[in-house]
Amino acid sequence: MSTVIRLGDVAEFVRGITFKPTDVVPADTPGSVPCMRTKNVQKELDLSDVWSVDSGFVRRSEQYLKAGDILVSSANSWNLVGKCCWIPESANGATFGGFIAALRPDPDRIDPRYLYHWFSSPRTQATVRSFGRQTTNISNLDFARCLRMDIPLPGRTGQRHIAGVLDRVNALRVKRREAIGLLDDLSQSIFLDMFGDPARNPKNWPMSKIGNLVESANYGTSEKASSVGDLPVLRMGNITYSGAVDLTDLKFMDRATTDEKYLVRRGDVLFNRTNSAELVGKAAIYRGSDELAFAGYLVRARVNGDNNAEYLAAFLNTRYAKRVLRGMCKSIVGMANINAKELQSISIAEPPRWLQDEFAGRIEALESLRCAHSQHLTELDALFSSLQNRAFRGELSLSAATSAA
């Protein structure tokens, strides 16, 4: 049986430290401390790019993270404020910046993992976002209102069982995502094995320009898309950095009013020409059969009959190509841009068509595996969401929890 209490009865928010970007120091600087920031708050704590600052910026001992804290984005765009992640042992003793906060549980009153699963649940996240105080393009977390939120609290045994079930299902989701990531790495390894590092061209393939490999490179439609319509529109957010087309968040327009030149067909390579400096140049090949349009921030490169689109897409996703693209992009009002002409001017090796086709066959086999993993991940996501909803509505009994796990 659950009781209902206030969040503030079992946890507190600790605000981060204040510093300037110029205060960041190398990680090996004596007296420095790792400092988490908004970028590090992902589904799991992202430790791939951690800043360090002098420990003198930490004014209070509670501003050092503890394993079991929940790191929360407290100043962000409206749709991201409240986003959170768990603090593992590996981040114990780090500090955190002023745009994030630590939600610190009282372990004598609540199981920390139970609190994490409750706070990260879609229902709670939506409530937290609704509390945001909006300023110019930024929403600020209302700590006081958050601490007044009601949280269902079963006994300690019930909390541990619920957290354990959700942890086990989530571990399966993490492993599935890792498997998909390994397939991304494998496709690049196959490219390098068959064609060599494009930075050095060790196999001495004839050199050409991307423009010589394509029959056309066109911009997408500038027509505004919306949530209604019968024609899905690919936007820059639908192209992932790893080189895939993500169809989970689509906008639409009317097919009857859309020119044929803005349509995508199987085998087209889509290139993100305008984005932040870190993301500009994302590229992916469309392997589907459904009719789609593409938006103006994308370039559609249609490969000619002498080459294979899989080869071009894989080249654009190599570290070398991304480095070249970053070096040639122009920044305008915080956005980086590469136009179609510049894209076509990039040098590229041109191996024989038969070898490109052999590469495409291997990628097709990897894509079949990726689809199977993605389908299983979708099923696990649905199971996790169902268990989460039932758990925090008090509908997940210990026996049901045990069988679901």
Q: What is the pLDDT of residue 201?
A: 96
Spatial separation of the C-alpha atoms in residues 318 and 361, rounded to whole Å: 19
Beta strands in 240-282 (DSSP E): 251-253, 263-264, 269-272, 274-275
Nearest 10 degrees: Cα torsion 60, 63, 69, 73: 140
R_g of the chain, CA atoms, integer Å: 24
Nearest to 366 by CA among 239, 237, 188, 241: 188
Mean pLDDT by 10 residues, the chain (405 residues): 90 96 94 96 92 96 97 91 95 95 97 97 94 84 96 94 95 94 92 97 97 96 89 92 88 90 95 86 92 94 96 96 89 82 96 98 94 94 93 70 48
The Cα–Cα gap between 301 and 218 comes to: 7
Instruction: Give dist(CA 2, CA 153) in Å, integer.
Output: 5
What pLDDT score was predicted for residue 277? 78
The residue behind tokens 């105080």 is: 133
Three-state DSSP at 231 gives strand
Torsion sign, CA atoms 157, 163, 166, 167: negative
Angle at 12 between CA 174 and CA 109, to 5 degrees: 80
Q: Which two tokens stand for residue 225?
A: 């898309």
- Tokens 């600020």 belong to residue: 140
CA neighbor of 331 nearest in space, from 274, 282, 279, 281 = 274
Domain spanning 3-153: CATH 3.30.360.10? no
Residue type (1 letter), 328 = M
Q: Which CATH superfamily is domain 206-350 in?
A: DNA methylase specificity domains (3.90.220.20)
- Would you tell me how many other CB atoms lie within 10 Å of the CB of residue 386? 13
What's residue 205's pLDDT? 98
Between helices 156-195 and 112-120, what is the axis angle to 10°?
70
**Cβ distance 78 to 132 under 8 Å?**
yes
Contacts of 346 (CB under 8 A, 6+ apart): 209, 210, 321, 324, 325, 328
Residue 266 and residue 286 in contact, taking contact as beta carbons nearer than 8 Å: yes
Q: What is the pLDDT of residue 161?
A: 93
Q: CATH 3.90.220.20 in the chain, residues?
A: 3-153, 206-350
- Integer Cα distance of 7 and 84 in angstroms: 16
pLDDT recorded at residue 401? 46
